[in-house]
Amino acid sequence: MLPQFTESRIIYCGELIQALEDCHKQGFMKRAFGTCNNQKAELSRCLHAERVSRERENMKKSLEKRKKVTQRWKEMEEEEFGPGGYLREVAQKKE
């Protein structure tokens, strides 16, 4: 298998990778005339779809993490200044 595709994260395109490698083993002349182009195009589409899927999943995780951090900041502010930032308003009025 191609070294750049041996990672465990690429799981859906394994059959297409193997098909492309099998095509490449047929010999130089067949490859030179483009007999492997269909397999390569299918593999490219599969890898692109897998990358996009991974990006969406990472984006969802990032947004969830950001919501938790924002919620924690809000809780810390309420602990320090009271609900709604009441103590902050009082301190600003005294200045």
Note whether residue 54 is domain-resident. yes
pLDDT at 71: 95
Question: What pTM did the predictor assign?
Answer: 0.64
10 Å CB burial of residue 43 (0-12, 13-18, 19+) is: buried
Share of the chain above pLDDT 90, in %: 34
pLDDT-derived band at 7, boundaries 50, 70, 90: low
Q: Which domain holds residue 22?
A: 7-93
67 half-sphere exposure, CB direction, 13 A CA radius: 6
Domain count along the chain: 1
- Identify which has the larger pLDDT, 3 or 47: 47
pLDDT at 69: 97
Residue 43 and residue 16 in contact, taking contact as beta carbons nearer than 8 Å: yes
Note whether residue 45 is domain-resident. yes
Note whether residue 2 is domain-resident. no
Is the pLDDT score of 20 beyond 70? yes
Note whether residue 36 is domain-resident. yes
Q: How far apart are CA 10 and CA 4, in angstroms?
A: 10
Q: How far apart are CA 4 and CA 21, in angstroms?
A: 13
